[in-house]
Amino acid sequence: MAENKAALWNDGWYRFAHRLPSPNFGARPDAAVVDLIVIHSISLPPGQFGGDEVLALFTNTLDWEAHPYFQTIRGMEVSSHFYIRRNGDLWQFVSCDDRAWHAGKSCYRGRENCNDDSIGVELEGLEGQSFEPAQYETLTHLCAAVPLRYDIRHVAGHEHIAPGRKFDPGPGFDWAHLQQSLGWADRYFP
């Protein structure tokens, strides 16, 4: 098992992800137990896929003048640990040992501030719409690898940790498919 961990993870960086470090992260609290994977959806501008705008947003290099929508998020400093494109390509911005800025005001399993003890995964997509088979395949491999390093007990959507404030990944996300692909018990899922 130790060989598998060493082969897949290096200081919280996943071997099979393209590495693009974000400045938007911080240390986890000393008592944090990383036991939650949070699934999000994002596209920039909303509903447009395939560009590098999400990569730029998470690395503070987005051209705020490139699209009128960007003015509504101007100056935002956010990140996620991972981002899965429509074709299944996997990017990592923050070591999973560190705290990414993906959840915002949140509460799940009786704990506030889910950024403190979760791993954020963004899927290129729009809340309420469907996601691609390649994304589910990459997400399944990633979710299966994360417990080799972290004591994962829960998988939830942004909509579950910030109800009423966030709605992603939304009804187009196939939770049953992810659960079946992972073979994990009901207790892991919302």
- Count the Cβ atoms, other than its own, within 10 Å of residue 7: 10
Angle (CA) 92-95-96 rounded to 5° is: 100
Length of the chain measured in residues: 190
Which contiguous run of DSSP H or E holds residue 13? strand 13-14
Which residue type is seen at 20? L
Tracing tokens 């070591």 back to the chain, one arrives at: 95
CA 184/CA 171 separation, integer angstroms: 20
- Count the Cβ atoms, other than its own, within 10 Å of residue 117: 21
- Structure-block tokens of residue 33: 């137990």
The residue annotated as part of the active site, out of 53, 65, 112, 122, is: 122
Residue 122 is a catalytic residue: yes
CA 150/CA 97 separation, integer angstroms: 9
CA 63/CA 22 separation, integer angstroms: 16
CA 34/CA 67 separation, integer angstroms: 36
Catalytic positions = 122
